Amino acid sequence: METQGKVAIVTGGASGMGQIFARRLAAGGAKVAIFDVNQAGLDATAAESDNLTAFHCDISSLEDVETKVGQVAEQLGPVDILVHAAALMPAHLLSEHTHPDMERLFRINYFGTTYMNRAVLPSMTERGTGRILNFGSIAGIALVPKMGAYCATKAAVNAYTEVLQNEIRNTGVRAHLICPPAVNTPLVDQTIDTDSPGSIIESKEKGRLADPEKIVDAIFKGVAKDKDIIYPSEAKFLYYWRALAPKLWWKTVMNFEK
């Protein structure tokens, strides 16, 4: 992925894989705007490089997204790359997950994706160039208990991005869908701090969660190969398991709840 002299926005840039992406893009010569609501994390990350600029942005607010993307264009230039990594990942039984919390989850995970994509697309399309990387998840395909609402938001992101990449295929703008497995980042900690599926708790305790640096390595390789959908690490295996043996999949994941 060409980065030298490019302007990039990375959402969720104050921690986790968003932060890793922001650092790598900046090291590659891109001017990177990092979006997050974690002001302390934003400030600390932006202080690492002159190529990193912090923007406090609530991606669940269309007004805030459009305002901040406009500020990036004014301060840094037209956006060439969007890496949309920001999300929430709480875990609750569907019978106990409140409607307001589920609506907030969709506002951040799904509508945040549409807001960010729509904010950068007109300029990219007009210039006939640009690259969008949306973080969906294998959780939108390989479903697990206690994360029904999260899985639904990521299934929506997966569908949105796959349709988008085909609708814009001949415009010069590329959209990539990233479907990682569970990764050892603060996002997984959100799950564990709520009512986490037993499979994720065991993976955390036994050190089986994916390494975020290696996941980002795989994503960069997938983009270099111009893949539409990138399944890093064990994600492709999980995809086929859920697709080809759904009863075995559910028996396995439910066994962790006993």
Distance CA 27, CA 18 (A): 14
Whether 150 is catalytic is yes
Q: Single out the catalytic residue among 150, 160, 231, 240.
A: 150
Element (H, E) at 53: strand 52-56
Q: How many CB atoms lie within 10 A of CB 84?
A: 27
Token pair belonging to 112: 């945040």
Sign of the alpha-carbon torsion through 246, 187, 228, 159: positive
**CA angle (39 as vertex; 34, 40 as ends), nearest 5:** 110
198 contacts 256 by C-beta, under 8 angstroms: yes
Helices (H), the chain: 16-27, 39-46, 62-75, 99-106, 112-127, 148-167, 186-192, 198-205, 212-224, 235-244, 246-255
Beta-bridge partners for 9: 33, 82
Burial (CB count <10 Å: 0-12, 13-18, 19+), residue 224? exposed
Order across the sheet with 31-36: list the strands.
52-56, 31-36, 7-11, 81-84, 130-135, 173-178, 229-230
Which residues are marked as active site?
A: 150
